[in-house]
Structure 1
Amino acid sequence: MSQISKIIASILVVLALLLTAFALYLMAKPDAEPIPVVMPETTPPPLYNVVVASEPLKAGAMLSSDKIKIEQWPIQPEHSFSDPSLLEGRHLRTDLAPGELIQDSMLMKGLAYYLEPGERAITVPIQADNAQASRIEAGDYVDIFFLLKRQSATGEVDTSQSRLLLAKKRVLALGAQSLDEPITENNQSHSALSNTAVLAIPLEEVNPLLIAAREGVLQLVVRSPLDEDLPDTSLFPERTHVLTTKEDLTTEQQQAMQKPENKAFAGMSLSEIAAAENKKEQDSKTTPKAAPTRTAQIPTARAIEIIRGPNSQLEHY
């Protein structure tokens, strides 16, 4: 073996010994402790108490503590209840399955709760065949037309007329059918037997409706709840009231006269409901006509014309 080969072999032996020693060192060294992974603490979502049915319930059933129970939900639904005592003695409008949430709209609560602020529930007579033919039901929106016949005796209505009185009013009840009655699959419409309707009417429009219902015939016409078109009353003469205001009202009091409750208190007459043209005719009859004025004529003196050839001359006498 040459000298160079011996040197290379020696170097390789030394490297092998070093690697062996390093391997033994690693084997003898204890394992490093693993770094613990810190998991973020997760808080459970909040739970809310909600009242549900504990058994099958039929529409019209009265709620009691043995028919309802509390469950915990991760959400609080709108118009739900968390206190079962608020539901005891209440009656259902719909059927409920076990575990079904009880909401405010599922309870019978009286027609007053269906009124918006400033509205009143007014009962008016209607023709039964009108309700049956139009298939009107509680909850529908209707336009209210009225028919007035000529009243020659009183003179308040000079001509028979039919006009739109009120637009887009909600029907709260029709005969025995009501927004507050129980809703069942076998519910039948009572419109065939309906000769009265309960309507939600703004306070200031109650007087015209009562007069039209008393002196004429009302016709309810179903309209789409999505239809927002309404008559522009600013295009027509403003109706006057039965009661006149005081003459010395302040500016604040005059503004208060525009409130619905004050307009309703001031009242409305049949002649105002009939038509503006009718009122103008009555005003023209009651207003005395001015006597014709005569102008005094100045007397003129008498004269005679005398003609002499091409000349003429007036002689007064």
Structure 2
Amino acid sequence: MRHLNVTKIVAIALIALAAMLAFYAWTLARRPVASTPTPKALAAQTAYPIVVATHVLPAGVAIANDDVRVVMLPVRPSGAFADPSLLARRVPLSDIGANVPVVEAQLSSGFAEQVAPGERAVAIRVDEASAVGNRVRPGNFVDVFFTLKRDAVGVGPNAEVARSQTRLLLSRVRVLAFGGTASGAGNPSQFGALARTAVLAVPTADVDRLALADSAGHVLLALRNPRDEDAIEPAARTAPSGTLQASARSADAKANTASMQAAAGISLSELAGGLGSAPAVAVARRHFGRTDAGPGIEVIRAGHAQMLSD
């Protein structure tokens, strides 16, 4: 009898537990289930700012500010831009369609972008002695000197080079590459190793002069401090001997004397102390403190002095 009572109690307890579990399951079933976003839903909610062309961008024409705009796209193409200012003055290599994202691969880049308008990249031959012991680095500024030997074959009044001479050809020229290393690239420990050429950013008007000096004479690079802005004016590079002009870039005119004298040059007979022949080029000396006509340039040729006003 007692055994039956225990069995009834256990059965009632199990029934009560089952009822509780059923109620709990029913409660869970009525709760709203939070939906897990699918990958496609996540992709649809993500957008990226991408620069696209407002119209067809023709190849070879620099991009202006109103040629591009920013739109939100669900994908980010490789090499795309988010800031339109990064595309200012960049040049497309091929036509870019309207509303098409502008990417890096479509634009001119690399070495040509380092050449400023009005300049040309020109390579000249160098060796360890003519390139400051191979210590020239891309980005440096150099002065270009050249030496011409007397024309031994055509000695006389018809000789193309009557006297051996050296003078400053170009001043404050930027180095774009040295040897196999361009600006912003390469291992610093390998700079100058076996360098045979230097690439300079040369004003277009001076390319022919540098090419002639490199082919007919010996070119020397003189390394200079980048903060030194003393330089001869472009007009002085092509002016006849005796008409050298001071640079206006330096506040102190005295700082230009060295560059003007270097541009005037020196002949081998002058260096040897010869007195019997006129110098190959005029030697200019700048005078200061004059009260009658202001600063001027005294030009000495064959022992005769002539004062030129600025």
Task: Compute the TM-score of the two structures, normalised by the length of structure 2.
Answer: 0.43
Compute the TM-score of the two structures, normalised by the length of structure 1: 0.42
Higher relative contact order (CA 8 A, sep 6+): 1
